[in-house]
């Protein structure tokens, strides 16, 4: 160009197009860590499904199965992040197995259509912790819910006096008591006349009185106040024997209800065997089977469910409620039942 000038245009970008690469977080864990996490949960699932707990410590730890089921979701996450198909499959199978063992207790069974036409019957059970449970609260619950029968465990002579002073003698004048100044004391209180029932089963553990009553209308009911020994140390043998000795649910004749402190949860094979001998667990049936009953009134909330009402399979479960009673480490259980009307 004239004068030696060079023509420079700005129409074309200098240096081309700048491309910024996308940055994605790629989190990955090692396969060894994933296997390490899933192994104890998988072993727990095998023990639970196979009913393989043996000895004191396994029996105690098995009550934590609902928490193990929730915790088993962590190995599933680690398995996915490890990108290992085998460990992920084991983790998923473990969570499914534990979930099937636990979750049905939160949903319950379908209501029985004929239940509303039956004979209503309500039972309450309360462990009084060496007789220290607050008598006024117990009597207030009786006054509010009007149970036909109250089963008590760890019932002392002093507790009987306190309950009567709070009004139980007027509400439930009939009783069969085996009270003692120890954890062995037990007693059945009733709105209806009752008679002691001897020889129904071999009692192994604390006192477990049994009684029979006839309701207005003629329905006959047998009540067992259950309080097995806890599976602590060498007592685990007596705990097992005590559960096995409980009477089976009848298929005819008087109705039968077992209620009290079983010192066992539905995650114990021995407890499931008791239910399988002709009963339905009221909490499980009503969808309240995961509501913990022990230990109450502590710094930590109740953790496990060891207080139960078992009704023979002819009986329908209408309602299930759990209440905290001050100064005792067990929560009270109130269950509303329906007995088939005579045909």
Looking at residue 341, what is its pLDDT?
83
Which pTM value belongs to this model?
0.90
Boundary-marking domain end, from 102, 128, 157? 102
Phi, psi of 276 (to 5 degrees): -65, -15
In a domain, 15, yes or no: no
Boundary-marking domain end, from 70, 102, 134? 102
91 & 150 share domain: no
252 & 199 share domain: yes
121 & 150 share domain: yes
36 & 140 share domain: no
Instruction: Please check the confidence at residue 207 and state whether its pLDDT lies above 90.
Output: yes
121 & 214 share domain: yes
> How many domains is the chain partitioned into structurally?
2
In a domain, 41, yes or no: yes
Instruction: Please check the confidence at residue 3 and state whether its pLDDT lies above 70.
Output: no
In a domain, 20, yes or no: no
Looking at residue 203, what is its pLDDT?
97
Looking at residue 109, what is its pLDDT?
86
The domain that contains 247 carries what CATH number? Answer: 3.60.10.10
174 & 315 share domain: yes
281 & 134 share domain: yes
138 & 167 share domain: yes
45 & 142 share domain: no
Q: Are 285 and 333 in contact (CB under 8 A)?
A: no
Q: Provide DSSP, 101-139.
A: HHTHHHH-PPPPGGGGGSEEEEEEEEE-TTTTS-HHHHH
Q: What are the Cα distances from residue 86, in Å, to 36, 83, 90?
A: 13, 9, 6
Range of the structural domain that residue 309 is part of: 110-339
69-117 residue pLDDT tens: 999 999 999 999 999 999 999 999 999 999 999 999 999 986 655 566 7
In a domain, 213, yes or no: yes
Instruction: Please check the confidence at residue 16 and state whether its pLDDT lies above 60.
Output: no
113-164 residue pLDDT tens: 556 678 999 999 999 999 999 999 999 999 999 999 999 999 999 999 999 9
224 & 116 share domain: yes
Boundary-marking domain end, from 102, 137, 153? 102
**Backbone CA torsion sign across 122, 126, 131, 132:** negative
Band of residue 29 on the pLDDT scale cut at 50, 70, 90 = confident
In a domain, 7, yes or no: no
256 & 287 share domain: yes
Report how far residue 248's alpha carbon sits from residue 338's, in angstroms, rounded to the nearest whole number: 19
Looking at residue 114, what is its pLDDT?
54
In a domain, 89, yes or no: yes
What mean pLDDT value characterizes the chain? Answer: 92
In a domain, 5, yes or no: no
52 & 156 share domain: no
């Amino acid at each position: 160009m004239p004068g030696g000038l060079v023509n420079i245009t700005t129409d074309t970008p200098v240096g081309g197009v700048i491309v910024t690469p996308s940055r994605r977080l790629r989190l990955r864990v090692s396969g060894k860590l994933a296997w390490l996490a899933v192994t104890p949960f998988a072993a727990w699932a095998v023990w639970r499904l196979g009913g393989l707990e043996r000895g004191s410590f396994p029996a105690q730890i098995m009550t934590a199965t609902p928490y193990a089921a929730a915790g088993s979701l962590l190995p599933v996450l680690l398995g996915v992040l490890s990108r290992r198909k085998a460990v992920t499959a084991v983790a998923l199978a473990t969570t499914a197995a534990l979930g099937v063992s636990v979750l049905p207790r939160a949903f319950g069974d379908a209501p029985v259509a004929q239940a509303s036409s039956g004979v209503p019957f309500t039972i309450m059970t309360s462990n009084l912790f060496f007789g220290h449970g607050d008598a006024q609260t117990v009597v207030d619950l009786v006054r509010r819910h009007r149970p036909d029968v109250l089963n008590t465990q760890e019932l002392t002579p002093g507790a009987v006096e306190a309950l009567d002073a709070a009004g139980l003698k007027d509400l439930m004048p009939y009783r069969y008591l085996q009270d003692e100044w120890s954890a062995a004391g037990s007693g059945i209180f009733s709105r209806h006349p009752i008679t002691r029932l001897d020889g129904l089963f071999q009692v192994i553990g604390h006192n477990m009185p049994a009684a029979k009553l006839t309701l207005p209308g003629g329905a006959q009911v047998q009540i067992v106040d259950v309080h097995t020994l806890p599976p602590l140390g060498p007592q685990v043998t007596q705990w097992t024997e005590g559960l096995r000795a409980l009477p089976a649910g009848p298929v005819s004749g008087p109705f039968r209800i077992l209620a009290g402190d079983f010192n066992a949860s539905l995650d114990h094979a021995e407890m499931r065997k008791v239910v399988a001998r002709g009963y339905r667990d009221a909490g499980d049936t009503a969808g309240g089977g995961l509501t913990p009953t022990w230990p109450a009134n502590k710094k930590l909330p109740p953790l496990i469910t060891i207080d139960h009402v078992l009704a023979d399979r002819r009986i329908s479960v209408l309602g299930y409620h759990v209440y905290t009673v001050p100064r005792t480490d067990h929560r009270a259980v109130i269950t509303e039942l329906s007995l088939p009307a005579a045909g």
